[in-house]
Structure formats: C-alpha cells, structure tokens
Chains A and B, each alone.
Chain A
Amino acid sequence: MEELKFAIDTMWVLIAAALVFFMQAGFAMVETGFTRSKNAGNIIMKNLMDFSVGSIIFWTVGYSLMYGESVSGIFGKPDFFFNGDYTALIFQTVFAATAATIVSGAMAERTKFISYLVYSFFISLIIYPVSGHWIWGGGWLSEIGFHDFAGSTAVHSVGGWAALVGASILGPRLGKYSQDGKSHAIPGHSITLGALGVFILWFGWFGFNPGSQLAAGSEADALAISRIFVTTNLSAAAAAIVAMIITWLRYKKPDVSMTLNGALAGLVAITAGCDVVTPGAAALIGMIAGVVIVFGIEFVDKVLKVDDPVGAVGVHGISGAVGTILVGVFSVDNGLLTTGSFSALGIQLVGVAAVAAWVLTTSFILFKAVDLIIGLRVSSQEEHIGLDIEEHGVESYADFEIKGVHVR
C-alpha cells in the first residue's frame, strides 16, 4: 500500500510538472501575440532560454539554495549538481522557470538579448531561490505561518516585481509616450496567439495549483486536488468576466486583450490560497483580481509611466500580492472572515512586503549592474528595425511578405 501511494503521488506530481512546463508555451504565445511581429523570434529566444538556463542553474545549485538545510532561515545550504528526489527537483524547476519567464514580457522589444540572458541566469540562481526558501524551503516566512500554497508571491510576484524594475530601468519603447507624457497604443501583432497563450496558461495552471498538493494517493489528497481544480477555475473565470465588464464600461467596448489579462490575474490571485478557500471565496478573489488588473495596468502605464507591453507587472506583481493578502481574509483555517482575527492577514502582509523588498532591491542591483557593464537596451536603430533581424539575423514571418528586411 505504501508503495502504491508513493507511486500515485509521484505520478500526479510528474504529470503536474509536465503541465506547468507547458505553461512556457503559454507565456511565449502571450508575449509574442501582444508585441510586434518584428520582435517575435527574439521573444521566443528569451522564453526558450529562460527555461533552458533556469533548468540547468536550478539543478546545479538553485534547488539546494532553496530547499537545502536552512541557514538562519534565510537560505538553504548550497549543494552542487542535485542528486536526490528527482520528482521534487523537476517540479520545482518548472516553477522557478515560470518566475523567470514573466520578466521577458515586460522587457520585450527593446532589451539586449545578452543582457537578458545575464538577468535570467541570476534570477534562477539567487533571487528566486532565496525568497522561495523563506516561503517553501523552511525559511523564516514559513516559520511565522505565511501561507502561499502554489506561489502567488513565491513565483508570480517575484517575476512581477523584477519585471517592474527591469522595464523601469529599461525605459519605454520608442514612440510609447509622447513629449507631453501621453501614452500611445502599440498594438500587438496577433490577438489570436495571445489568446492561445492564455488558454495554455489556464490549462497549465491545472498542474500548477493542484500539483502543489504534492500528493494524490489518499482520499484526503484526492479530495483536496479536486477542490483546488475548482477554486482555480472559478477565480480565472470570475476575473475574466469582471475585467470584461469593466473594460466594457470604461472603454465603451469589451476589450479582448484586457479580458485575457483578467483571466490570468484571476489565476495568479487564487494561487496562494487555492487550497484553503471555498469555491465561493475563490470566485470573489477572482472578481477582485479582475478589478485590480484593469486599474493596475492603467496605473503602471499612465501613472508610473512604465512601458509593460503585456501587463506582466499588473498580472503577476500586483495580482500576486493581492491574492496572497486575500488569503488572510478568506482562508477557512485562519482568515479574517472565519476567525475575526487580523493576525493571518498581518502575516500575509509581512510576507508580501518582505518578498517585494527582496526582489525590488536585488533586481534593481542586478539590472543596474548589467546596464552599466554591458548595456541593457538596444540602440534606437536596432529597435526600429526589429530585434529578430538585429539580434538574431532571422525574420520570424519571412513568408508573409515579399521578402525584404530593413537595413540602414
């Protein structure tokens, strides 16, 4: 019986890991769909490398930095070339890679490829594992009772805050803001690819959240997993609907790309508490995320004046933080609405703030250093021509037009 339970647990986690891996395709499609075709190949390369570099780094040392024996609750004792529980390694690798790939969307269309590789290397090496250790590796946040079941903070906010810093230091795309500060639209080249990406992400999330149960071979686990499927789905659906309604009212017509972002915001928000909230609460969390995402994206674009082509900061950073905090309200174990006590809410706030501080600081140092040493941004000429040709020497859509490439 023991062996059977072990086998079922392992099978479920591995299947979930494969589903989460497939989210890489989701990210790639969202990012390329929401940006211009002249940069499509570059987006693909960044996403491909986020996963490839992340896989190697996480196996080499990242995993142990996150899950090793805790050193004062801050990080795990590093151990090179991991050779232990492979199920855990692969499952955690795909999660780490998710955090890393969030940033490529916000920094799209104007980041030097080599500089992006350097950033990607370091987020998987240090930034993600350390905060991950605090939350899941036995570190200080888990000790005080911080609850982030599948990673609204550990994965999504980490990516979201790094995206904010990167996009901010990078500066906006040429033509995005006029002299008087007005924001211009730079439409993506394929809403359909973007939608495909969102559906793939939603699909993969059925591995991301229920997989974090890390077990399936008992009645309790099976029931937990099935409930997590439902809370996850309801949050996404509610968020999509609310985002659509808000854009319908605010922009006079239901906006396709913002509604797509809405679904993702719902998924990100429920990730922290999908195991401890009721389906009804999940739908509420989704609705809140739907509101937050529309205003969050506008805030980043028009108030902070940070050019984020895909809304990564809003979807992952802001919704991740909000979703994590809401666990303190809606958790059936110790949430405000259940117990009347604010302590869970307070702990959630501490965790969100601590991780934000860690990521904002370290990514600032990282991006600033890269910018000073090798330069973060491409030249304006390269940006006009397109990164596919300038960085990679290819045309992603060579057959769609009479062949020709812009050369100065």
Chain B
Amino acid sequence: MDKITKVDIITRPDKAEVLKEALNEIGITGMTFSHVLGCGLQKGKTEYYRGNPYSIDLLPKIRVETVVCEVPVEKVVEVAKKVLRTGEIGDGKIFIYPVENVIKVRTGEEGVKAL
C-alpha cells in the first residue's frame, strides 16, 4: 500500500492565495480550506463597545488540509514554511498525520489513484 499522508496547515487568512499557488506549483491541486478561530502564543486585545471593554482572544485563522502521496511530505512542509513565515508570532503550525485510505467518490478508485 502506498504511504498516504495528511498535512494540516493552520495559518493567517491573508496567506490563503499565496499558499494555494505555491502548493499548486509543486503538483498539489486538491486542498480544503476552512475559516477557523484559535488561540495560541499570540495574545488578543481589548476593545470597547459603547463604553464597555470586551476582550478579543480567539483569532481568525485558516486551516488548509491536503492529502499527498506522490509529492513528498518534506517538500510540502518546505514550501509551506517558505510562503507562510513572517517571523512574527501567529505564523501558525503544520501537523502531519498518516492516512489509512483515500477513496474517490465518482470512480470508486482507492489509494494513490484516488488522489
């Protein structure tokens, strides 16, 4: 069985376009984007609404999920790190998981053929 890996990237929303293009360039076309909220080292701030303070500490990020087999995982990570890194807190994280199987719904193909 081919080794299938899922790469989960959590990063700033304004990086969506550059990340997508960079991944396209190394041969990845299938990705799932979602808007998420998260907290981490990056702290929130306090704003005021009609005189009352309220704190904002869940920050909007995007989560990009992609599953790869033929494209080496190291390459994906290297490209992602390159386009996402700003050097400031809040750049995000990349998580790597093994995948048991992939099935394409339309054709029923499994494994690497489904990607």
Contact = CB atoms under 8 A, between A and B. Distances in A.
A405 B49 contact: no
Interface string B42-73: 11110111000000101110000000000000
29 contacts: A175-B17, A384-B14, A389-B47, A393-B47, A393-B48, A394-B47, A394-B49, A402-B58, A403-B56, A403-B58, A404-B37, A404-B56, A404-B58, A404-B59, A404-B60, A405-B47, A405-B56, A405-B59, A405-B60, A406-B13, A406-B59, A406-B60, A407-B43, A407-B44, A407-B45, A407-B56, A408-B42, A408-B88, A408-B90
A407 B13 contact: no
Contacts of B42: 407-408
Contacts of B56: 403-405, 407
A57 to B, nearest CB: 28
Contacts of B49: 393-394
Interface of A: 175, 384, 389, 393-394, 402-408
Contacts of B13: 406
Contacts of A405: 44, 47, 56, 59-60
Nearest to B53: A393
A402 B60 CA distance: 10
A180 to B, nearest CB: 14
Contacts of A402: 37, 58
A4 B109 CA distance: 86
B96 to A, nearest CB: 26
A119 to B, nearest CB: 26
A406 B37 CA distance: 9
Contacts of B59: 404-407
Contacts of A394: 47, 49
A405 B58 CA distance: 7
Nearest to B88: A408
Contacts of B60: 404-406
A343 to B, nearest CB: 56
B52 to A, nearest CB: 11
A389 B59 CA distance: 13
A402 B61 CA distance: 12
A407 B46 CA distance: 11
Contacts of A393: 47-49
Nearest to A405: B56
Interface string B14-56: 1001000000000000000000010000111101110000001
A404 B59 CA distance: 5
Nearest to A402: B37
Given A405-B56, A405-B60, 9 more contacts: A393-B47, A402-B58, A403-B58, A404-B37, A406-B59, A406-B60, A407-B42, A407-B44, A407-B59
A393 B37 CA distance: 19
Contacts of A408: 42, 88, 90
A405 B56 CA distance: 6
A384 B14 CA distance: 7
A228 to B, nearest CB: 44
A175 B16 CA distance: 12
Contacts of A404: 37, 56, 58-60
A404 B90 CA distance: 15
Contacts of B88: 408
A321 to B, nearest CB: 37
A402 B58 CA distance: 9
A407 B60 CA distance: 8
B22 to A, nearest CB: 15
B51 to A, nearest CB: 11
A404 B42 CA distance: 13
Nearest to B86: A408
A384 B47 CA distance: 18
A37 to B, nearest CB: 13
Contacts of A175: 17
Nearest to B48: A393
A187 B71 CA distance: 34
A116 to B, nearest CB: 21
Contacts of A389: 47
B19 to A, nearest CB: 14
B100 to A, nearest CB: 31
Nearest to A383: B14
B49 to A, nearest CB: 6
A384 B49 CA distance: 22
A403 B44 CA distance: 12
A401 to B, nearest CB: 8
Interface string B82-101: 00000010100000000000
Contacts of A403: 56, 58
Contacts of B17: 175
